[in-house]
Amino acid sequence: MKNKKGTDKIISMYWFVILFLVAAAIVYMAAIFYGEPYDVREIEAHILANQIANCVAEGGYLKENILFDEEFKNNFLEQCDLNFNVEDVYGWKELEQYYLKIEFYTFDPNMQDNLGDLKFDFFEGNINLKDDCDRMGRNFPICVERSFYTLGKDNQKYAVKILSIVRKTEKNVR
């Protein structure tokens, strides 16, 4: 009987060792899960692309004074009510966290992606971010490429391609 009691104590000691290991694993997983920031960059990049689409086209037609308009091109952020200023952390003020590129092609059903000749394009933001688009991994900027078809003033069909990139890595990835 005494031996059985001794065995019970050893078993209960092991039981607590196992409990401790399980608890350590749960605490570790919880710390990893809740310590990880919410990554909202992809949503942000999609919203940015949407805002650009709304800015250049309305009701299926390109807005006036956009194509070949140098003033629109030069004051693009102001014209589309965008502000690429960011909070002053991680040296973000010196390194822009956004990049945008808009390309207007003629619509050509015979070409790949229906993209004919490039008629007009412009970009804004940190062009260096574009180089990281081909790289895989969460520590690189998020790139979203979207396109839509629209009509010009002369009922000419256009394909508009938008590339929007959001970096903000430090606040979205650990």
Partner 1 sequence: MFEKRFSRRGEILVENIIFIILNLIFLTILMVFLFSKMGSVAVLEEMYAKQIALTLDSAEPGMEIHFNMENAFDKKEKEWDVLQMVNIQENVVTVKLQEKGGYAYSFFNNIEVGMYPDKDENNEYNGFYVITIN
**Sites of contact with partner 1 (CB under 8 A):** 8, 12, 16, 19, 23, 26-27, 30-31, 34, 37-38, 40, 43-44, 47-48, 50-51, 77-78, 81-87, 89, 97-98, 171
Contact 165, 134 (CB under 8 A): no
Nearer to partner 1, 84 or 140 (CB): 84
Which one, of 134, 140, 135, lies nearest residue 166 by Cα? 140
Nearest approach, Cβ of 21 to partner 1 (angstroms)?
12
Distance between CA atoms of residues 73 and 79, nearest Å: 9
| φ, ψ at 105 (rounded to 5°) | -110, 155
Nearer to partner 1, 12 or 139 (CB): 12
Nearer to partner 1, 13 or 118 (CB): 13
| φ, ψ at 67 (rounded to 5°) | -65, 130
Nearest approach, Cβ of 170 to partner 1 (angstroms)?
12
